[in-house]
Structure 1
Amino acid sequence: MNLESPKVSVAKSAQELFDLLTDMKNFEKLMPENIAKFEVIGEDSFLFGLKGMPEIQLKVKEKAAPGKIVFGAATDKVPFTLITNIDSVSENSSALKFDFEGSFNPMMAMMVKGPIGKFIETLANNMSKL
């Protein structure tokens, strides 16, 4: 299952945005309002829980400054990646898009497609809060 967030413009350079998104504590500002739990686990990992959903731990799997950060599930129980794509637009402006790639059975994919789509859209739309 592959989902994409809308591409959003951010009034920060690509490197500045990359630096902000590799600091795990900044993700708390991007979370939806229905967040039930947020905890930084280490310098490259955080845990979050949304009301009515299981807690998920994301861990940085790959970094390619300043254009890409790949997060993955910390456990193999729910195999997925969340790819952050950052494009430089100008010296003080960049564009960001999240790509979600998950390996789910058809029943699970049907159940999580809506909430995950909304979640990555919220992350993208909250970029202005950084």
Structure 2
Amino acid sequence: MTLIQNSTTLNKPVEDVYAYLSDLNNHEQLMPENIYNWSSTSDEARFTIKNMAKLALKVTQRVENKEIVCEPSEEAPFKVRLSWKLDQLSTQETKATFVIEAELNMMMKMIASGPLQKLVDYQVSRLKEVLA
């Protein structure tokens, strides 16, 4: 299993960060330019990654103020799990970690690791901007 992750510290209460991330409608604001055809509800999101694949994700687990987990709701190019993990550092400070766990063979790992890391880094920095 390939693990790709990044973290940021936000000057927001954990409840605010969780409320934002637990609604997949908000995740469009965190996506890079190569994501299009976005449609979502609070529990599901569908989008196309330019020159790569179409993805449909659904929330499979919510642990209040701790974690949101998404997994493909339709067939994906590889087995993948996306999760936002939250740690309350103080009443006004939260650490948010975005983790992608992907089952990649060696060939896919060479192709996909870089773009997946860029996606994680981008979403973490966008979250900091959006919730600033």
Aligned residue type for 1:72: E
Which runs of 5 or more residues in structure 2 are unaligned? Answer: none
CA distance in 1, matches of 2:50, 2:71: 21
CA distance in 2, matches of 1:50, 1:122: 14
Write the mapping of 1:73-88 to structure 2, written as runs, cut at 5 A.
73-77=72-76, 78-88=78-88
CA RMSD of aligned residues (A): 1.5
| 1:1-46 superposed Cα distances (whole Å, 9 cap, x missing partner) | 3233321011211111111111111101101123222110x33110
Residue matched to 2:71: 72
Residue matched to 2:105: 105
Aligned residue type for 1:113: S
| 1:77-113 superposed Cα distances (whole Å, 9 cap, x missing partner) | 4311011111111112101111111112221222111
**TM-score, length-normalised on structure 1?**
0.90
1:60 corresponds to 2:59: yes
CA distance in 1, matches of 2:75, 2:24: 21
Which runs of 5 or more residues in structure 1 are unaligned? Answer: none
Q: Give the secondary structure class of the aligned counterpart of 2:53.
A: coil
Report the number of matched residues: 129
Residue matched to 2:119: 119
Q: Structure 1 runs of 4+ off > 6 angstroms?
A: none
**TM-score, length-normalised on structure 2?**
0.88
Residue matched to 1:11: 11
Q: Contact 2:34 / 2:49 at 8 angstroms: preserved in 1?
A: yes
Aligned residue type for 1:38: W
Q: Give the secondary structure class of the aligned counterpart of 1:43.
A: coil
Residue matched to 2:49: 50
Q: Give the secondary structure class of the aligned counterpart of 1:46.
A: strand
Q: Give the secondary structure class of the aligned counterpart of 1:55.
A: strand
CA distance in 2, matches of 1:75, 1:34: 20
CA distance in 1, matches of 2:4, 2:79: 17
1:76 Cα shift?
4.1
CA distance in 2, matches of 1:126, 1:46: 18
1:118 Cα shift?
0.6
Q: Contact 1:3 / 1:117 at 8 angstroms: preserved in 2?
A: no
